[in-house]
Amino acid sequence: MSSLATESPLDKASSFLEAPIGKKAVMAVTGVILFGFVLGHLAGNLQIFLGPARLNEYAEMLRSVPKALWAARIILLIAVAMHIVSSVQLTRLKQSARPVGYTKTGYVQATYASRTMMWSGPIIAAFIVYHLLDFTFGTVNPNFQPADVYANVIASFKRPLVSASYMIAVSLLGVHLYHGLWSMFQSLGIAHPKYTPKFKTFAKVFAVGVTIGNVSIPLAVVTGLVGY
């Protein structure tokens, strides 16, 4: 009897995850989770333009279901970790497949986004941790008020360095989203020469829209468009 016949489902799953296709599948699935979070998070945050009452009502609604909120946070952090680990592993597999260095950079067909996926992911992860410390736990927010999200956002983004860091982080997120979104279609096996350009256009529009939406919040606070 062959070893394949006696291989357990757990062994098969492990073998699949160790293969490049398995790592791409992990990146695609976790990518879907992260894209969903990005959209939901942005939709919630943009309510700051509707005034303090509206944003605080939204925040209170989230706090009213703490188990669901913490479950979402845990799933998000796990997805981020798996996404980064799979990205690093895939990069190492590609490097080991081409051990001899090239005299040229070989970036002719690579986009800026694809070349920076390795380091933009960890930077975004670090930003998420800081974001939680700032707006959820208040550890790094000098004027933190647990029940007043609107005031916390204003207090945090009135600091130019925090606003600038936030805008840089969400810009990196946009770059990451652009490459990640259209490459996700390829990983899921639904890419086609006829439709790939359309996928790329959609990814670019999506990434630019998310970036503008996120940048608009600290920019509005710094310029005084939003505040008290």
What is the average pLDDT value for the chain, to the nearest integer?
80
Contact criterion met (CB below 8 Å) for 21 and 29: no
Q: What is the pTM of this model?
A: 0.77
CATH number of the domain at 11-222, please?
1.20.1300
Query: Contacts by 191-200 with C-beta closer than 8 Å and gap 24+?
Result: none
Instruction: Tell me which range, 101-110, 169-178, 186-195, is most confidently predicted by mean pLDDT.
Output: 169-178
> Regarding predicted confidence, which is higher, 171 or 117?
171
Mean pLDDT of 121-145: 82
- CB burial of residue 227 (10 Å; 0-12, 13-18, 19+): middle
Residue 17 pLDDT greater than 90, yes or no: no
Q: Each residue of 91-122: pLDDT tens digit? A: 777 777 665 554 444 443 444 445 555 566 67
**Angle 179-85-16 (CA atoms, 0-180°, nearest 5)?**
95
Residue 187 pLDDT greater than 70, yes or no: no
Q: Each residue of 52-95: pLDDT tens digit? A: 999 999 999 988 888 888 898 888 888 888 887 887 787 777 77
**Angle 43-48-53 (CA atoms, 0-180°, nearest 5)?**
115
Phi and psi at 19, nearest 5°, equal: -80, 155
Mean pLDDT of 126-142: 84
In the chain, where are the structural domains located? Answer: 11-222
Phi and psi at 96, nearest 5°, equal: -70, -25
Residue 183 pLDDT greater than 90, yes or no: no
Q: Which two tokens stand for residue 48?
A: 């700051």
Query: What's the DSSP call for residue 108?
Result: S
Q: Which two tokens stand for residue 26?
A: 């992990």
Q: Buried b vs exposed e over 107-140: b needs ≥16 C-beta within 10 Å? A: eeeeeebeebbeebbeebeebbebeeebbeebee
- pLDDT band for position 218 (cuts 50, 70, 90): very high
What percentage of the chain has pLDDT greater than the value 70? Answer: 81
Separation between Cα atoms, residue 121 and residue 165, nearest integer Å:
15
> Regarding predicted confidence, which is higher, 117 or 197?
197
